[in-house]
Amino acid sequence: MEKNTLALIGAIILIALAIVALSSLSPNRTYAGTAVTPGNRTAINAEKAKIYPYAKEIAEPSGFINVDNITIGSLIGKEVILVDFWTYSCINCERTIPYLNLWYQKYHNDGLEIIGVHTPEFQFEHDINNVRTAVQKFGIQYPVVLDNNYASWDSYGNQYWPEDYLIDIDGFIEYHHIGEGDYNETEQEIQKLLVERSEALGLNISIPNTNGVPGNAVTINYSGIGSPETYFGSARNQYLANGKPSVSGLQTLVLPAEIQPDELYLSGTWNFADQYAENTGNASIVYQYNAKNVYLVASADDATDVHVMVDGKPITDNAGADVRNSVVTVQADQLYSLVQGSDYGTHTLELDVPEPGLRAYTFTFG
């Protein structure tokens, strides 16, 4: 009994320490603060320090995409800063970018700077040329910094793609948001901090107080997505149903007579690496999903045709943006849009790969 009690106490302490670590960069919304004289920045900052964490500098940047150099320290006292951690093959990040582009266009001249910190999930996302191509594809105008060694990620205690930190004129992180969504709330926080900046610098700037929706925004019903992100590589392929998960090397797999939802099935011979599985000959992928849209992160050394079928038929009306005549041609290291459905529901996706060389990384859904 005594040992069990000590173990329980130890577990509680570990949980408490984890909560402290996770919340170290989140504003303390429960502190009411003390009223200070407007314009007294020293007193204002003293009160902010009791509520908000101070911003971290960009740490050990691996390179810059569309700017020669940029630091957070050089912007504090001048601009409001939105730091966005992202990676280019992440569909959640991709759906957030139109809002970031809109805010940059709308508020940059009023004192907002956005810094995209590109921290790679997959090895191919370390390649600066791949990131340059993605930045151009997404029309990103705000500065993008490479964080290949996770130095800035670790400095901020970041955990997700995307994850945003909104830094005020005095250098405090007044707002922190994880993942997609809550765009109206984030824009209202931007507006509030820009008003504060204008007052602090003695500027006569009228900040818009209306929220906008980008023309190319993708609307997602998050409650309608029932399938989890599903990885192919041996480091994280726990949903592999007809093979040996977490095992690297060659596996020859056969499709079963029946499949279960939200589990990954492969046929043919596949070579499993940590981050991906690569077919060595004629092969197929089968997955019963519950969502509206389906995406595949993949690549190949040579252009590789993948035939896309949904519910036993070649996909036509609901084909994703990267599918032509029921075929997606994979080569570039990127996320491919396979299915753009009309509504949320359960369907069976089958990908037939007649030639070797497809490197499949992950399925994501929307």
Domain architecture of the chain: domains with CATH: 23-200 (3.40.30.10), 225-365 (2.60.120.260)
Residue 188 contacts residue 157 (beta carbons within 8 Å): no
- pLDDT confidence of residue 12: 41
* Chain centre to alpha carbon of residue 179: 7
Q: How far apart are CA 287 and CA 295, in angstroms?
A: 12
pLDDT band at 229 (very low <50, low <70, confident <90, very high): very high
Contact between 170 and 48 (Cβ < 8 Å): yes
Alpha carbons 109 and 128: distance in angstroms, whole number: 28
Q: What does the pLDDT average to over 198-221?
A: 93
- Give the per-residue pLDDT at 360: 99
Helix orientation angle between 183-200 and 91-107, rounded to the nearest 10 degrees: 30
Question: What values do phi and psi take at 100, rounded to 5?
Answer: -60, -45
- Calpha distance 158→22 (Å, rounded): 9
How many beta carbons lie within 10 A of that of residue 224, not counting itself?
14
Average pLDDT (61-83) is: 97
- Residue appearing with tokens 């582009």: 101
* CA 337 to chain centroid: 16
User: Which backbone phi and psi does 326 adopt, to 5 degrees?
Assistant: 70, 15
Angstrom CA distances, 364 to 98, 125, 221, stand at: 19, 17, 14
Give mean pLDDT, residues 151-166.
98
Alpha helices in the chain (DSSP H): 2-22, 41-51, 91-107, 128-137, 151-156, 183-200
Nearest to 114 by CA among 188, 165, 73: 165
Tokens of 47: 């009160």
Per-residue model confidence (pLDDT) at position 26: 53
Please determine, for residue 2, whether its predicted confidence score (pLDDT) is greater than 70.
no
Average pLDDT value for residue range 117-134: 98
pTM: 0.89
Q: What is the pLDDT of residues 140-158, one digit of tens each?
A: 999 999 999 999 999 999 9
Beta bridge partners of 310: 313, 349
Provide the percentage of residues in the chain whose pLDDT is more than 70: 89
Instruction: State whether the Cα torsion 250-255-256-259 is positive or negative.
Output: positive
